[in-house]
Amino acid sequence: MMMRFTQSMKVKAQKEKVGCVLTLLIMIVFCVIVLLFPVCGSVSLAGWVQSPGHPQGYDPHSSLTWKKCAPTGHKITLTLIHLDLEESFECEDDALKLFADEVLLFTLCGRKSMKELQASVNPFLHSSSGGCLSVSFLADYSNTERHTGFRGFYTIQDVNECMDPENECTQLCNNYIGGYRCFCRPGYILDSDKHTCQVSCSEDRTGSREGVLMSPEWPGPYPENSVCSYILAVEEGLQFELTFMGVFDVEKKENGECIDSLTIKTLSGAVETFCERDVPSSVVTGSQRVEIIFRTDHKGANRGFSLYYETREMKCTGPVTPKSSLDPQHPEYSIGSEVIVKCDKGHVLKSKESAEVEYKATCQKNGQWSPVIPCEPVDCGIPDLPELTELSDKDPPTTYLNQISLKCANEYYQLDKNDNFTCNAEGNWESESGQKLTDDLPKCEPVCGINTEASFSGRVFGGKPASIKQIPWQLFHRRLPRGGASLISDYWVVTAAHVVDGHENMTMNWLGGTVNGQDTDPVTIETEKIIIHPKYNRVGLTNKQTNYDHDIALIKMSKRVSLGPNIRPVCLPKETDEPVKDGTVSGFGMFKKETVSRRLLYGHVQIYPLDKCDSVGLSATDNMICAGGDEVDSCQGDSGGPLFSPFLGYGSPDKPYRLTGIVSWGPSGCGNKSYKGYYTKVQNYLDWIKQTMEKN
């Protein structure tokens, strides 16, 4: 028992000795810190933080909240030397929480030796510069055994900013308590950003007529972060010429972009920048004042430049203004020289209201011409275009050599000719063939002979009803005289003369865009002028009954017909002598004995030679077409309506429907196999139609 007691006493004495030594070391560190650091107001530079009741032990429900912040340029460090808390799962009973700059670093419980704390916890217990450390300790209601708690020692220390690679001092750094400062090697000055060192290399050589300029430390490598500005200036009437000498070596990227640069600026604002290894050619500045700027970045080992500058008499060079020439023409001109400035073709003087193209200019002492009147391109302007015609591009450029093209305003029209027009030197729009736009203006003409629906069978007398859009050129007059007509443009209609004979001085309303003869809302087209063919044998003007020769009339409408899918013109025949082909006839006439159709009917007919048709006592002429089919015929009420080819349903944009005949006359008894109908042969009247439309 005595030996055991003695051994126990020895162990206890050794522990107390170790504790005293550790406490002594900490106190020595504390004393050193206090001696080395100035007193910063009320901020304590070192001290202890520990759990309540330490080292005897903490009571249930004990708690502690502690926070300490470092001044600017300092950081606070905490060293835990003791930890003895109740052990629990995820420290849910008793816990010590450690924070740095409001971020949780550790949640601790249980026991850890000083060695364990030094290895895994203490290296991380420090704040950022000017930051804070905080501690939160909380015990629950009871412990199965007594625990001594925790104890730590904190210190506030200066931060050595010079060790931070991001402090951005380009040369030298001096750390002091609470901060740092950058400074430069001899020959450099600190920039206004207090971090960058620059060479003091700018010079003002005003009044110097010749001399040498070199990059700093020439012929050795030039220093980094340089911005050198050299000013050369002399009296008016002189200019500087710069000649590079020896090596020219200014850093450049592989893609050609300058890293470092030598820039020459003149009084006129002209700028030239040089880099790489090729020696630049001599520079005649044309200026009495020149600024040469040399810039370098933060690294590199290039040698820089050396140049010789001298003055020479000021000269003027051409051109005086772009898009002009000089008379006389010389490489350069002495002060006082006069020249005639003439604008290039297609250009005029900007300040002149008239189309003047030349003026006189004199070379001044500053190397500039006076006066300077710019030459600007001739502007042809936006042309005046007829109705329905517009430019292909909105707001196109309209000056010399620019081009425009035209188009029609909607799909139901097309240009009668396509061409590009170029703005010429005289200010006129000119076609590729050399015609002025005003003399050869393309016109928008209706697209003819196209429909949007088709069928392949039917007849008029007893015929098949047409659907809307199938025969969009068909017009109808439903009051007496009842008859049909064909739209051939957006203003003109063709019909049989006998339909309108005696009604020339009356206003007639024609219906279009409908297949229903009793439609209450059709397109109504009002006549302005009715023109009957002059050779038509008009009933009532002679004692003879008409033989229907020249049975054709033109009607001009009072306003432009609004074209669309339901109403659009048919094409006229080609100006050829080719035989008339079989086709389709349409109308609102009788479709069975003494019955007038309420619907637009159509049917296909065959063309026969005149000598194969019975004219029933009337004389047929070469101005007529004989056509018919098996119980297919035009009849009363169809007069004036169209006979067109190809057959309905076989037309296309490449093969449009053409008006080959106009329903004219025939024997009584429609659909009789023994008789055929007669139609005015439109092909024979193309010239009359064209001339009449042009005159009216």
Q: Which of 490, 501, 549, 551 is catalytic?
A: 551
Superfamily of domain 201-313: Spermadhesin, CUB domain (2.60.120.290)
Q: Quick check: 601 and 588 in contact, CB under 8 A?
A: yes
| 124 has pLDDT over 80 | yes
Backbone angles phi, psi at 514, to 5 degrees: -145, 155
CATH topology for 389-446 is Complement Module; domain 1 (2.10.70)
Mean pLDDT over 643-656 rounds to 93
The reported pLDDT for the residue numbered 441 is 87
Q: Point out the least confidently predicted range of 104-108, 304-308, 439-443, 626-630.
A: 626-630
| 1 has pLDDT over 70 | no
Give the HSE-up count for residue 415: Cα atoms under 13 Å, Cβ half-sphere.
18
pLDDT band of 354, cuts 50, 70, 90:
low
DSSP string, 176-244: ETTEEEEE--TTEEE-TTSS-EEE---EEEET--EEEEE-TTTTSPPPSS-EEEEEEE--TTEEEEEEE
Binding residues for Ca(2+) are 86, 94, 140, 142, 158-159, 161, 175-176, 179, 251, 260, 297
Cα–Cα distance, 604 to 284 (Å, whole number):
89
Residue 186: is the preceding peptide bond cis (ω within 30°)?
no
Give the CA angle between residues 18, 20, 26 to the nearest 5°: 105
Percentage with pLDDT > 90 across the chain: 61
Whole-structure pTM value: 0.57
DSSP string, 105-160: EEEE-SEE-HHHHHHHTGGG-B--TT-EEEEEEE--S--SS---EEEEEEEEEE--
Which residue ranges make up each domain of the chain? 43-159, 201-313, 324-377, 389-446, 464-695
Quick one: which of 196, 199, 172, 168 has its CA closest to 183?
172
Cα–Cα distance, 209 to 85 (Å, whole number):
87
The reported pLDDT for the residue numbered 463 is 60
CATH topology for 324-377 is Complement Module; domain 1 (2.10.70)
| 592 has pLDDT over 70 | no
Q: Quick check: 642 and 662 in contact, CB under 8 A?
A: yes
Mean pLDDT over 126-144 rounds to 91
CA 109, 114, 118, 120 torsion-angle sign: negative
pLDDT band of 143, cuts 50, 70, 90:
confident
498 is catalytic: yes
551 is catalytic: yes
Q: Could you say which DSSP state residue 376 is in?
A: E
Binding residues are 86, 94, 140, 142, 158-159, 161, 175-176, 179, 251, 260, 297
Q: Could you say which DSSP state residue 453 is in?
A: -
Q: Which of 126, 498, 533, 604 is catalytic?
A: 498
- The pairing of beta strand 283-284 with beta strand 271-274: unpaired
Summarised one tens digit per residue, pLDDT across range 52-64 is: 999 999 999 999 9
43-159 and 324-377, same CATH topology = no
Q: Point out the least confidently predicted range of 362-371, 490-499, 666-675.
A: 666-675
Q: Which of 615, 634, 639, 664 is catalytic?
A: 639
Out of 191-205, 486-500, 510-524, 627-641, the most confident range is 486-500
What is the CATH class of 43-159?
mainly beta
Superfamily of domain 464-695: Trypsin-like serine proteases (2.40.10.10)
- The pairing of beta strand 483-487 with beta strand 474-477: antiparallel
pLDDT band of 16, cuts 50, 70, 90:
very low
DSSP string, 646-659: S-TT--BTTB--EE
| 18 has pLDDT over 70 | no
- The pairing of beta strand 227-233 with beta strand 203-206: parallel
pLDDT band of 35, cuts 50, 70, 90:
very low
Mean pLDDT over 509-526 rounds to 89
| 422 has pLDDT over 90 | yes
Summarised one tens digit per residue, pLDDT across range 276-323 is: 888 889 999 989 999 999 999 888 889 999 999 999 999 999 899 999
